Structure 1
Amino acid sequence: MYRNILFRWLPIKSVQKECILKLLNYNRHTLDSNKLCQRHISVSSIYYKKKKTKEEKSVENHGGRVIRYAPKAGSHVVGVWRNMTVQEIAQVLEKDIDHILDALEFADKTSDIQYNKNTVIHNPQIIRDVVKICGCRSKIVPRPDQEVEEEMNKDAVPAPPAPASALRPRPPVVCVMGHVDHGKTTLLDALRDTAVVETEFGGITQHIGAFQMKLPSGEAVTFLDTPGHAAFSAMRSRGALATDVVVLVVAADDGVMEQTKEAVRMAREADVPILVAVNKIDKPDVNIKRTLQELAQCGVVCEEMGGDVQAIPISALKKTNLDTLVEALTLQAQLMELKADPGGYVEGVVIEAQVDPRTGKQATVLVQRGTLRRGSVIVAGNGWAKVRVINSAEGVPLQEAPPSTPAAVLGWRELPSAGDQVLEVASEKRANEVMRWRANQKMKEKQAVDLEAIKVKESDHNTEYRARLDHKRSIGRMRLRPTGPRQKMIQHDTHPTLSVIVKGDVDGSVEAILDILETYDEHDRVRLDLVHFGVGQVTPSDLEVADAFNAVIYAFNVDCPPAVTVEAKKSNIAIKHHNIIYKLIDDIKDEISLKIPKKQEEEFVGEANVLQQFVVTEGKKKVPVAGCRCMKGSLARNALYRVIRGQEVVHEGKLASMKHLKDEVNTIKRDMECGLRFEDTSFEVKPGDTIVCYKMVDASEKTDWDPGF
């Protein structure tokens, strides 16, 4: 009876029941009803204890402080955001409001907030706990109804135009342009009494130069000397965009040439006036009128032809009419009324950039607005500098550089590129902010380009995969298994490739070389890979790259340290030095030609006439023998032979025997008779046939790449 009563009201497990029964059986004769109940209660307290919650355990283990435990989340992921309302949580979890309110009571026990459907939950941890209680996982996403704000532009930008009261007169910037070898640098040497042209390699200008000079009248003029070679089109374009007046130098003996037309087009695009200097009038038999007519055909109508463009005949070598040219420049500048704001932040353009072995990174900056001083912080492209030194074109230190002054600036952290806009910023912190923003923008542009390439690759892969799948389905159950061992399955790129590394003295020269390499269009024959380029001397890191890619290093007008030269010889790395751009390109063309696979070509050895056919016995067989006389060249035993009958080739093959009289010989000279037996014994010659002796030789080919000069 007691057993039934106990088991009726005690919520205990079967194992516990068995233990209680054993105790009851052991003491059934000594226990009365009251003792039995007390005995049972003590036993049940041993085997049955109420399970404590995590909150109760946390109170015991953490000194009265409650640690809230959230249930384990499920696999379904929902997006949440900050400052969600209860209604929004319910919509995301697809639950009713009451369910979310019940979950909030468990998730937020410490606060006294009375939640309703419009309550905004500012604590993101409570939102995550509610999601877990509902059996889901959470991830942070932007608010759906909130428009994504565009990233704030942190780039440096030019200042607004200065008021008229702040403008001051400035010297004109004159760009000298024209065809190669028409006397541009000679003209500038004559104006400033220098001999720059004597220091130029190959007699051509390969850099853009900037300098300022004082005219006899006391006025200052800034000149930009641009290369005339076809390879330096980008340099000429930069010079035209940064100038106020273009002096177009045209040789009277050559007339208008290709780069002359290009200079006219660039000046028109830059919307700057043109002043024509007809040079080399001291040469005999020059025709100035013909030159002016050719200019008129290009759209430059001079005053002598009824136009408005001044044309001054000069001789830069003899310094003839240079005063007239200077007066024309001064008049043109006065008519333009050139002014700039010398105050405020500096604005300018990078004319050229280079790495000097002694002074480090430096860039020639043409100041267009403001005054550049030591200590100024400037940004240009992907580089910035705190100006340490300002030098003139002659290397003279300057305290400041007002508008229209070209200055060599030292102190660059990263070297800018030629043509980059120069802007002054307030501090180094601001410069770093601009650099980070520009780097991010450049990375985004690269990611966009890479995404397009990935889409193309993915499309090609899907097309190939579908083709293989269709083929596999068409052959039924048969599987497509690769044939041969695994080594044969591995494909190696055996296409001939020329890898090059370009190091130049200035950024403009490297840019010109890279522009030329981009015109290469024979990748199906030999692939041309540019694995690295830079400005400055050849460094050990360049050797590592060259060793990895088996590349040739081209050093344009830069030196190679002795230690690097020794290491290159040990590693068998080719370093080729050049100081003339067209010779460097010719060297690259020769290297490409050496990479082109050679073709087999026929080389004529000799010729013989068949006089008669004989039949001789060798062993038990009778074989035909051609009795011949060598008429041209000589006949070789191991060469190839072709038999011509009339105008038709009737047989080609090798000889099995060549005899003179009864002796086996290797060569038959001219006017000697011999007996020739072919390997094909079924072929028979006839009197009058012509036998041509030839051999196959490897013939080298040259590239057809034409860079345009």
Structure 2
Amino acid sequence: MNVMSSVMSSVMRGAQRLSLAPPALLRSCSSPSFLCPARSPAALLTCPINRKYASKLFKDQKKQKVKSKVDKQEVEIRSRMTVAALAEAMNRDFDHVVEALLNTSVDLDSLELDSVLEEKWIKEVVTRSGMKFRWANLSEKKERPNRDIHRRPPADPSHLVPRPPVVTIMGHVDHGKTTLLDSLRKSQIVSTEAGGITQHIGAFLVQLPSGEKITFLDTPGHAAFSSIRARGTNATDIVILVVAADDGVMNQTVESIQHARRAAVPMIVAVNKCDKPQADPQRVKQELLAHNVVCEEFGGDVQAIHISALKGDNLLALAEATVTLAEVLELKAEPTGLVEGIVIESRTDKGKGPVTTAIVQRGTLKRGCVLVAGKSWGKVRFLFDENGKVVTEAGPSSAVEVVGWKELPSAGDVILEVESEQRAREAVEWRMYEEEQQKLQEEQSVIELKQKVHLEEYRRERAELAHLSWKQRRSALYQVNKTRFSLRTSERTERERLSLPLIIKGDVDGSVEAILNILDTYDAQQQCEMDVVHFGIGDVSENDVNMAETFRGSIYGFNVGASSSVRQLATKRGVPLHLHSVIYKLVDQLKDELSSKLPALLSEKVVGEATVLAMFDVTVGKKKVPVAGCRVHKGQLDRRLKFRLIRGRDAIWEGSLATLKQHKDDVQTVRTGMDCGLSVDGDFSFRAGDVIVCFEELDSPQATSWDPGF
């Protein structure tokens, strides 16, 4: 009967909880409803309907238990998982993993998102979370098919036709490279450049009076644009090295020679500014000998042409020398088939979108061609020459602006034509996937290295503390971490201020690349950290201001603008906005801002010195105060400043004076040759012969030691 009562009690509770018996059926039951507390448990069994629903209740409860076991979440794990990877696999956050590892031997204080967990702790976290795990079968992972594209094989010699040479003009800044092109094209390129110096790479087609065509690349000579000069030599057939006859071989002259030699490109030396009275072309050619550039008159194979780019003297001879060298090189290309080329420069145009300046190296570029460059692709909508005129096609060695890119390629990317847009997407997706995999491998290597270093430090500290008692070990650990534990909020804030987040905006990809290369020369060990949080191409936008405000950083723009609304927003939010059109002025501004972030240097200025002649006590109230009788022998003593007591060679006290008297009067200063009495706070005794130094602490601004090299 007890068993029956227990069963029926369970039935009643279950029925009340799950409402198994609908009200209509209960009303049709011959016995009163089992929900009525007046009925006994035995009466419930006499009702067939209640027996039916009691049976259904037990079956549903059994199914529910089975279902709860089946629905248990399954987590795919693998060896050496990081905390972040495990949390993602479990669909939980970092705190959940930490809570699951409580009361274990895992050092939770050093646990971070990139910390690698041991196998047993991975299993423990999953189990404690009420989940079950299964090992990932890495052998079943299918490799993604390589869908990249590459250059075509070399063309059949019978399909090759002569092409114009691509000539790069290189040299030191202000040696007349752009003026030379200006004279060849009868244009005004120089007037468009800020500060009279070239800060971009340009591509221009020049047709000589004899009918020959030459594609010239103009590269910057400033030290900041080394990467642009290197890119120019990689896309060229001939290098014209411009050296000023009055200036000689300079730093960027030597660098240009090295770029040409690495690219295995022949050179022609153009000795410029020969019209100046102080010009010495012979000295220039002799200086070039030191860099293994041997001109023809010294028995070498390098042509040297004396010119004056400003007056146009002897330019025809330079052009003929270029054409002659091109004929010797027998430059040819295949004008048919899929296009191949290289991105010389890239920028974002408000009306055109992403635009690239490209040199066609193979095939004929036309409207409608589908191109892939780096991790970008596009369908050619328009082609423009260097004068902004629309062209229908561009053959080998042609320099054109290409419009139609989905994303902006990077300068230096190889351009390859594909059959369809689908093929272009596949190639770009593969390249992005490959880059992602490479980053994952690099990050994994960094994580493993950090774990190794951390483990070595942990073992070393454990070994050093192994022989100590528990109390000694706790004291030693406190001393090791004392700086971190005792750091006040104000000090932490001060340390956080010693960083300069930057947002870099440039007009073209090459300019941004040059600025980033300059910033890479900044030593990470400098007192103020410099971090580029964002860089891009185009004018400064409101998003840039919002990001700078979030990171408390500054915006630097090179050859870009900012609308009045953006400037007002930056001023309102206190975001420094610096716009420059000359590279060295941008760098100078950046150095000044870095210097302003550095803490001031504390220096001392000695104001006066005095010697203790005698000691005596003065009664103040009921207390005797030791007083030192002194004579000032240098400068003056100022009570408002700080003092230092020197005994022998040691400084044994430093602080402020309690009193400074002359005769019986309290005074602020005592000058040279005067006697005085002074006392200090605390129980301190002077001796005859001690030297009292009065000094002033001064804060002097600190300048960054960063030297970008120009």
Fold shared per TM-score above 0.5: yes
Q: What is the match of residue 343 of structure 1?
A: 336
Deviation, structure 1 residue 473: 6.3
- 1:474 to 1:293, Cα distance in 2 relative to 1, 3 A: same
Deviation, structure 1 residue 692: 4.0
- Give the whole-Å Cα distance in 2 for the aligned partners of 1:205 and 1:551: 29
Residue among 507, 510, 513 paired with 1:508? 510
Please say if residues 630 and 668 of structure 1, whose CA atoms lie closer than 8 Å, have aligned partners that are also in contact: no
Q: What is the match of residue 529 of structure 1?
A: 531
SS at match of 2:656: strand
Deviations 1:555-599 (A, max 9, x none): 111111222222222221111111111221222222222222223
Deviation, structure 1 residue 153: 2.4
SS at match of 1:593: helix
Please say if residues 655 and 676 of structure 1, whose CA atoms lie closer than 8 Å, have aligned partners that are also in contact: no
- Give the whole-Å Cα distance in 2 for the aligned partners of 1:230 and 1:504: 18
1:445 is aligned to 2:441: no
Residue among 674, 681, 686 paired with 1:683? 686
Please say if residues 180 and 204 of structure 1, whose CA atoms lie closer than 8 Å, have aligned partners that are also in contact: yes
1:578 is aligned to 2:571: no
- Give the whole-Å Cα distance in 1 for the aligned partners of 2:237 and 2:393: 22
Deviation, structure 1 residue 188: 0.9
Q: What is the match of residue 301 of structure 2?
A: 308
**Residue correspondence of structure 1 range 686-697 to structure 2 within 5 A:** 686=689, 692-697=693-698
Deviation, structure 1 residue 190: 1.4
Q: What is the match of residue 113 of structure 1?
A: none
- Give the whole-Å Cα distance in 1 for the aligned partners of 2:428 and 2:615: 91
Deviation, structure 1 residue 550: 1.1
Q: What is the match of residue 354 of structure 1?
A: 347
- 1:446 to 1:604, Cα distance in 2 relative to 1, 3 A: same
- Give the whole-Å Cα distance in 2 for the aligned partners of 1:604 and 1:202: 47
- Give the whole-Å Cα distance in 2 for the aligned partners of 1:690 and 1:143: 81
**Residue correspondence of structure 1 range 122-521 to structure 2 within 5 A:** 141=137, 151-467=144-460, 494-495=495-496, 496-521=498-523
Deviation, structure 1 residue 321: 1.2
Deviations 1:274-306 (A, max 9, x none): 000011112223322221111111111001111
- Give the whole-Å Cα distance in 1 for the aligned partners of 2:486 and 2:628: 47
- 1:562 to 1:153, Cα distance in 2 relative to 1, 3 A: same
Deviations 1:119-160 (A, max 9, x none): xxxxxxxxxxxxxxxxx999895878xxx8864321121122
Moved more, 596-605 or 428-437: 596-605
- Give the whole-Å Cα distance in 1 for the aligned partners of 2:224 and 2:324: 33
- Give the whole-Å Cα distance in 1 for the aligned partners of 2:310 and 2:293: 25
Deviation, structure 1 residue 467: 5.0
Deviations 1:301-349 (A, max 9, x none): 0011111110011111122111111111121122222211111111100
Deviation, structure 1 residue 540: 2.5
- Give the whole-Å Cα distance in 1 for the aligned partners of 2:274 and 2:392: 42
TM-score, length of structure 2 as denominator length: 0.74
TM-score, length of structure 1 as denominator length: 0.75
The structure whose Rg is larger is 1
Q: What is the match of residue 545 of structure 1?
A: 547
Moved more, 308-317 or 566-575: 566-575
- Give the whole-Å Cα distance in 2 for the aligned partners of 1:310 and 1:430: 47
The one-letter code matched in structure 2 to 1:416 is: P
Please say if residues 614 and 627 of structure 1, whose CA atoms lie closer than 8 Å, have aligned partners that are also in contact: no
Please say if residues 653 and 678 of structure 1, whose CA atoms lie closer than 8 Å, have aligned partners that are also in contact: no
Calculate percent identity across the aligned residue pairs: 46
**Count of residues in Structure 1 that have an aligned counterpart in Structure 2:** 585
- 1:404 to 1:463, Cα distance in 2 relative to 1, 3 A: same
- 1:614 to 1:211, Cα distance in 2 relative to 1, 3 A: same
Please say if residues 626 and 679 of structure 2, whose CA atoms lie closer than 8 Å, have aligned partners that are also in contact: no
- Structure 2 portions without partners, runs of 5+: 5-58, 60-66, 78-131
- Give the whole-Å Cα distance in 2 for the aligned partners of 1:525 and 1:645: 36
Please say if residues 353 and 415 of structure 1, whose CA atoms lie closer than 8 Å, have aligned partners that are also in contact: yes
Please say if residues 349 and 366 of structure 1, whose CA atoms lie closer than 8 Å, have aligned partners that are also in contact: yes
Deviations 1:626-669 (A, max 9, x none): 3535654x432111234678988787553333345554232346
SS at match of 2:685: coil
- 1:179 to 1:461, Cα distance in 2 relative to 1, 3 A: same
- Give the whole-Å Cα distance in 1 for the aligned partners of 2:133 and 2:637: 90
- Structure 1 portions without partners, runs of 5+: 1-13, 16-56, 58-68, 80-135
- Give the whole-Å Cα distance in 2 for the aligned partners of 1:428 and 1:376: 10
1:555 is aligned to 2:528: no
The one-letter code matched in structure 1 to 2:629 is: A
Deviation, structure 1 residue 182: 1.1
Q: What is the match of residue 698 of structure 1?
A: 699
- Give the whole-Å Cα distance in 1 for the aligned partners of 2:617 and 2:148: 96
Residue among 585, 589, 592 paired with 2:591? 589
Please say if residues 189 and 197 of structure 1, whose CA atoms lie closer than 8 Å, have aligned partners that are also in contact: yes
Moved more, 421-430 or 456-465: 456-465
The one-letter code matched in structure 2 to 1:455 is: E
Moved more, 544-553 or 499-508: 544-553
Moved more, 397-406 or 191-200: 191-200
